[in-house]
């Protein structure tokens, strides 16, 4: 028998950190019939075209190109802007953000993050710029918008491009404006674990018609027509089945967002008074959030237990949290020899990576389950 810290019983079934939103199967089979009838499974089919324009409307952006996943999309974004040399980015992100730079033969330059928002610290970017810098690649971490104004100011001053990794920020808006309208290009991921998904998928958004033409060539092997291949492209195409599921999922995203908003409020009220637990960053009134994640930070000294201890303890109760993002990209064996990856260059990121814990968050989670998860957490405090 396991020994528990309190009289709280473990959950009977595992509570995962997230669960995918699934549309009604009948809606999917109906769309599949259309696809079967058309006998058009991929290569810019009707579902794909319709989803592109529906997403442009939903995200309030001028141009959108669909991709088979967010990582390929981001690789193509770098290619489309012909980036080279060095790109300034955050170590506090998913592996893909840094890896796409390597896949473009670009040296990632890690810049420390802001202690509140956990996003790239816009005030520190300038000091990282060298003659080799061509762009800035920030991430809207956990859907909290970056300091888009300051970042643009620095980019303009030095003639740098800005590509946002907006994988966490589907539907986020600043002052009624879609988050995808900032910088030169933004990437969204439609992976199954995200708020909105196409099973696997992604997109690039931007405000330039010529850039859309270039991106669409790059994602289709550079094939211009039957007789001309004009650049070394890749296969980044989203198929018709995923596109159709994406069209259905657009009808689910606001409902899912509202459910998660309620759960956010419960976490906030249950945990706001707990010493040693820091809640998600607060955004201004003009920011519309998507509530995709709920992330806490655990101060070991004040809480009496480390993040790793809390993570292990939760498992005994069948609650599977995630150390998201840990380890930092700057700690990966493929990057830690870089000068900018040194721990002393990244004090805030290194501290936060040891404190963050992503809590269970998905629409089907009940309010009672969230309260119990909070009770378990509170019972761990020493």
Asked if residues 313 and 305 have their Cβ atoms less than 8 Å apart, the reply is: yes
299 HSE (CA, 13 A, CB side): 8
CB of 319 to ligand PLP, least distance (A): 22
The CA distances from residue 277 to 249, 280, 306, 327, in Å, are: 34, 10, 11, 20
Cα gap 80→100, rounded to integer Å: 13
CB of 18 to ligand PLP, least distance (A): 12
With b for 16 or more beta-carbon neighbours within 10 A and e for fewer, the 349-358 pattern comes to bbebbbbbbb
Q: Which of 31, 99, 161, 168 binds ligand PLP (CB under 6 A)?
A: 168
Which CB atom, from 66 or from 96, has the smaller least distance to ligand PLP?
Answer: 96
For residue 71, which of 22, 104, 113 has the smallest C-alpha distance?
A: 104
By CB under 6 A, tell whether 98 contacts ligand PLP.
no
Q: What are phi and psi of 208, to 5 degrees?
A: -130, 115
Nearest-CB residue to ligand PLP?
A: 70
By CB under 6 A, tell whether 167 contacts ligand PLP.
yes
DSSP state of 211: H
Q: How many residues in the shown chain lie near ligand PLP by CB under 6 A?
A: 14
Binding mask 295-334 for ligand PLP (x = CB under 6 A): ----------------------------------------
Binding mask 125-164 for ligand PLP (x = CB under 6 A): --------------x-------------------------
CB of 201 to ligand PLP, least distance (A): 7
Q: Which of 47, 79, 93, 133 binds ligand PLP (CB under 6 A)?
A: 93
Q: Footprint of ligand PLP on this chain (CB under 6 A)?
A: 69-71, 93-94, 96-97, 139, 165, 167-168, 189, 191, 202
């Amino acid at each position: 028998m396991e020994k528990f810290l309190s009289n709280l019983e473990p959950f009977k079934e595992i509570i995962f950190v997230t669960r995918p939103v699934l549309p009604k199967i009948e809606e999917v089979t109906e769309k599949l019939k259309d696809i079967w009838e058309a006998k058009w499974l991929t290569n810019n089919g009707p579902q794909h075209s319709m989803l592109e324009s529906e997403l442009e409307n939903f995200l309030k952006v001028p141009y959108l190109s669909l991709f088979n996943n967010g990582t390929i999309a981001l690789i193509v974004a770098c290619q489309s802007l012909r980036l080279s040399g060095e790109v300034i980015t955050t170590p506090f992100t998913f592996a893909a953000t840094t890896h796409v730079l390597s896949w473009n033969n670009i040296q990632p330059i890690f810049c420390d993050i802001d202690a509140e928002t956990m996003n790239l610290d816009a005030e520190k970017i300038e000091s990282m710029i060298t003659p080799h810098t061509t762009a800035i690649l920030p991430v809207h971490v956990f859907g909290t918008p970056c300091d888009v104004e300051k970042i643009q100011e620095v980019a303009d001053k030095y003639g740098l491009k800005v590509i946002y990794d907006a994988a966490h920020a589907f539907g986020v808006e600043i002052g009624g404006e879609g988050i995808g309208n900032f910088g030169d290009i933004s990437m969204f991921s439609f992976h199954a674990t995200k708020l909105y998904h196409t099973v696997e998928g992604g997109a690039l958004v931007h405000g330039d018609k010529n850039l859309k033409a270039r991106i669409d060539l790059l994602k289709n092997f550079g094939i211009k027509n039957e007789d001309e291949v004009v650049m070394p492209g890749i296969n980044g195409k989203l198929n018709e089945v995923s596109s159709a599921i994406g069209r259905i999922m657009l009808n689910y995203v606001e409902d899912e967002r509202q459910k998660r908003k309620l759960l956010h409020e419960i976490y906030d009220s249950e945990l706001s008074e707990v010493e040693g637990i820091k809640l998600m960053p607060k955004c201004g009134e003009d920011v519309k959030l998507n509530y995709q994640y709920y992330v806490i930070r655990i101060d070991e000294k004040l809480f009496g237990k480390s993040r790793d201890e809390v993570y292990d303890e939760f498992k005994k109760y069948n609650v599977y949290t995630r150390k998201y993002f840990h380890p930092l990209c700057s700690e990966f064996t493929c990057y830690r020899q870089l000068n900018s990856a040194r721990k002393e260059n990244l004090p805030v990121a290194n501290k936060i990576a040891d404190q963050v814990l992503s809590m269970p968050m998905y629409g089907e989670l009940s309010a009672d389950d969230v309260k119990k998860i909070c009770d378990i957490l509170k019972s761990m405090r020493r």
